Amino acid sequence: MAMYRHIVLFNWKPDIPAGHVERTIEALGELRPKIPQIRTYEYGANVGINPGTYDFAVTAVFNNIDDYVAYRDHPDHKAFIAEFTAPFVATRASIQFEI
């Protein structure tokens, strides 16, 4: 059975408020139990080993495409984006692929 991985990478705007990354991590932890379609969920800030990388990453695994779409369109996920990423992200990249 194929599963699907979703990866999102962000670069924050230079003027994000102090503590925003920590609040984002906390909010992602609260989001996970609200969306049962998420099989695995990992996220965090870049540790800064290599230059030219993104500031923050989110990865998730879903059992099927329908589960990913349910997550993508879930009202709590949309609320998270509106509050924690959309206003603060300078650049974003994402991909979904079969694993």
**pLDDT tens digit sequence for 55-81:** 999 999 999 999 999 999 999 999 999
Q: What average pLDDT does this structure show over 32-44?
A: 97
Residue 57: inside a domain: no
Which CATH number belongs to the domain containing residue 78 in this structure? Answer: 3.30.70.100
pLDDT score recorded for residue 26: 98
Can you give the pTM of this predicted structure? 0.93
pLDDT at residue 1 tops 90 = no
Calculate the average pLDDT of the chain.
97
Question: Is residue 54, in this structure, part of any structural domain at all?
Answer: no
Q: What does the H/E/C string look like for 39-60? A: CEEEEEECCCCCCCCCCEEEEE
Q: How many domains does the chain have?
A: 1
